[in-house]
Amino acid sequence: MNGLLATLLLVCIASPFLLASAKTQWHELDGYTFHDYAKEFNKRYEPSEIKMRREIFEARLAKIMAHNRDSTKTWKEGVNQLTDRTEKELKTLRGYRKELSTVLPYRGMAMRWSTDIEGLPASVDWRQKGIVSPVKDQGQCGSCWTFATAETIESHWAAATGQLAVLSEQQILDCTPNPDQCGGSGGCGGGTAELAMQRIMDMGGLSSEWTYSYSSYWGAAQQCKFSTNSTPAAAKLKSYVKLPSNVYEPLLQAIANIGPIAISVDASAWSHYETGVFNGCNQTNPDIDHAVQLVGYGTDSTFGDYWLVRNSWSPAWGEEGYIRLRRSSAFTCGTDIHPGDGTGCKNGPPTVQVCGTCGILYDNSYPIVAH
């Protein structure tokens, strides 16, 4: 086992909930050193990588502290298990490929949406309804799209049946081919919730985590092992709904009235978010690269309206695994000039328009469960 692998394994084994609650907070970073960081996060390095990791950590810490000194910022940054990782390593935490949503034939359910948002609750948090499972950790695999999908099906299945089943990301990862080679080949190379939900419908359902457990933490997909006998479906879909792209009201209505939503975002600036209402994405040229779960919305007494988003980078990240993104009906739009990130899409457009903070309004969907 090499040093980096040992480092990551130790972080994985250590209780993520303990890290989330006990780690050094943003206001405690004065005098914080690389030695402190390595000890706090159980880091173990090969001698050949110590210098590189130290330099990465120190550069990041300087940026984090400079950010936190800026009183105009509405969120704080902090150290976490990602602070010593290279940009390439951080990119593996994402893996969404937006091109899939622009070229796949839509097989979901058609819905009509109004622009009337009067009468909606002032705030919504589906965690309080008992239909949101604990925060998970995708590890070194670009499997965010499978987590966003499985988590959202979990929530809708729980709302329909009263049973909060933890479902298999690995089945989606292993068993969802991408013959069009759009944004890669699927698996740890990326995909979308819509692609996943279509495939789950074709397979006849999604297994539980207990019968088809997650084994791609270190970055490699496995052979498909789904079987109605050995890994029977724990939840089934009859359809799914794709929300209108770049429109505010349908997303607000859906999260208020229907349940959690699988959403796509530009998470390239999220790595060191710790707390507050985040508004730090590139709004001119956002790069949609990550799939997560929207679980609610609300209003911060100091920083205003926000979307409540669940990530899959463990509870040690952010607000115990969550981030609040700025929410506004007067949203801005930008142009994603890299829709071919990764291996690209042979039929994909050269650019796409995305709207809302971190592109949150661009590509969102939820399942219709069969129970």
Q: What is the largest CA-CA distance in the chain?
A: 60
Q: Active site includes 290?
A: yes
Q: Active site includes 144?
A: yes
Out of 290, 345, 358, 364, the active site residue is 290
In the chain the beta strands, taken as DSSP E runs, fall at 75-77, 124-125, 206-207, 233-235, 237-242, 261-265, 273-278, 290-300, 304-310, 322-326, 333-336, 352-355, 364-369
Out of 178, 246, 311, 364, the active site residue is 311
Out of 144, 175, 182, 188, the active site residue is 144
Alpha helices by DSSP H, listed for 164-309, are 169-175, 193-203, 248-257
| Nearest-angstrom CA–CA distance, 330 and 198 | 33
Radius of gyration of the chain (CA): 20
3-class DSSP string for 27-65 = HHCCCCCHHHHHHHCCCCCCHHHHHHHHHHHHHHHHHHH
| Nearest-angstrom CA–CA distance, 30 and 115 | 48
Q: Active site includes 311?
A: yes
Question: So which residues are the catalytic ones?
Answer: 144, 290, 311
